[in-house]
Structure 1
Amino acid sequence: MGGFNSIVKLFMPKDRVFYSLFEDVAANLVEMGKVLVELVETKDMQVRKDKVHLIERLEHKNDDYTHRIFVELGQNFITPFDREDIHYLASTLDDVADYIHGSAKRIDIYKVGEINDSVRKLADLINQGVQELARAIPELRNMSNMRVITDACVKINSLENHADDIYDRAIADLFEQESNAVELIKMREIYQALEIATDKCEDSANVIETIIIKYA
């Protein structure tokens, strides 16, 4: 039977591999979003450190998936959609992972004692954003359910706008209330990394929209 299976594999359309790789990336990002929320919700420094290490491992896993997508791009003549769209989608999703990791790492190395509401809200918006990406991406396989994709993209857009508002307010409060310059710089960097993660979710959603416009 094994021989037959490998023959079937041989004749499987090579472009199918992109769908599963993107779905792996999406599932991995969902995991990262979930762990980030757990990280900002806990006061226990050891638990926090464990969550940071877990996010780091997931980020490495994401790098592997992204690398495999690029390798497949180099080897496959046939791709399910434009090569540059595949490249751009892989890059923007990888950026989401990088900035989730960057936020977690900064919370850890800057030894943030009290995690405030703004950080928690931004983490929650990132978490919602990656969940929406994970809803849209599997639909690219057959594009029969466009509504799911467009709804997810619209939702990501509004999450990003919400994140912008929280970020602006958090920065304003920071400059008003924080007299310690070092603390101010630390918190500003954490806010920025979190906010950029939501931007990158929106960039990913924009690529997905570009793809469905071309192929709908």
Structure 2
Amino acid sequence: MVAWFRRILPREERFFALFDRHAGIIAAGAAELRAMLEGGDAVARHYPAVLAHEDEADAVTREVVQAVRRTFVTPFDRGDIQGLISRMDDAIDEMKKTAKAVALFEMREFEDGMREMGDAIVRCAAILRETVPLLAAIGRNAGQINALCEQIRQIEGEADDVHDAGVTALYRRCRAEGGALGYIAASEVFDRLEKVVDRFDDIANEIEGIVIEHV
């Protein structure tokens, strides 16, 4: 009787498509943010696109939240669905904050370490795009999902090392040159880039938690 009742309840089959769309937007935002780090005129060219992708991601997040509210039968726990889309949205929110910091400080030149961290963000976004479709069959794909999440974790650790080395080198150079304001601006962008990578680690943790509950 319970199984029959569940079958006639309203279902929302679009959750995975919405997750996939959001992951695609994250990847597009990551590419635009990385392009900004090339410096010069690229900053102004790609800055608006980062903001536009963040707006797109917000719209998808709202769709997911609305779908959760109107659906009785969801593919996995409602809290997990909202937690995952929130963590994903946090990642592109941090990209927007990073882009705005670059614009605020009128930066047109960037450290090599910043570009390395931008590369790390693009790599994490690509792994996320590969991971999200696998959630439609968690049991069958659990091993692959966990392996991909571990890749994100490794990239996050590497990015931490790049951040620390970059900020140290920046401090030493600015101290020698007397460039306190330049240090403040550049260290803020370094920190923002680190936070973007950290948000991907949060996503990986959220996904691994879902896998544990469903395998």
| Equivalence for 1:145 | 141
| Equivalence for 1:39 | 36
Whether the 8 Å contact between 2:10 and 2:71 is mirrored in structure 1 is no
Shift of 1:171: 1.7
Unaligned stretches of 5+ residues in structure 1: 1-10
Q: Partner amino acid for 1:50?
A: R
Q: Secondary structure at the match of 2:73?
A: coil
Matched, 1:26 2:39: no
Whether the 8 Å contact between 2:9 and 2:72 is mirrored in structure 1 is no
Which stretches of structure 1, 4 residues or longer, exceed 3 Å deviation after superposition?
none
State the distance in 2 between where 1:174 and 1:84 align.
Answer: 42
State the distance in 1 between where 2:166 and 2:180 align.
Answer: 16
Aligned mate of 1:89, from 78, 84, 88: 84
Aligned mate of 2:152, from 149, 152, 156: 156
Aligned residues: 204
Matched, 1:60 2:62: no
Whether the 8 Å contact between 1:135 and 1:148 is mirrored in structure 2 is no
| Equivalence for 1:117 | 112
| Equivalence for 1:3 | none
| Equivalence for 1:135 | 130
State the distance in 1 between where 2:10 and 2:104 align.
Answer: 46
- When the two chains are superposed, the root-mean-square deviation of aligned CA atoms in Å is 1.7
| Equivalence for 1:6 | none
Whether the 8 Å contact between 2:27 and 2:125 is mirrored in structure 1 is yes
TM-score, normalising length from structure 2?
A: 0.89
State the distance in 2 between where 1:96 and 1:12 align.
Answer: 33
Whether the 8 Å contact between 1:160 and 1:199 is mirrored in structure 2 is yes
Whether the 8 Å contact between 2:30 and 2:122 is mirrored in structure 1 is yes
Shift of 1:108: 2.2
Written as runs of structure 1 = structure 2, the 5 A alignment for 1:188-199 is 188-199=187-198
TM-score, normalising length from structure 1?
A: 0.89
| Equivalence for 1:4 | none
Unaligned stretches of 5+ residues in structure 2: 1-7
Q: What is the percent sequence identity of the aligned residues?
A: 27
Shift of 1:142: 1.7
| Equivalence for 2:3 | none
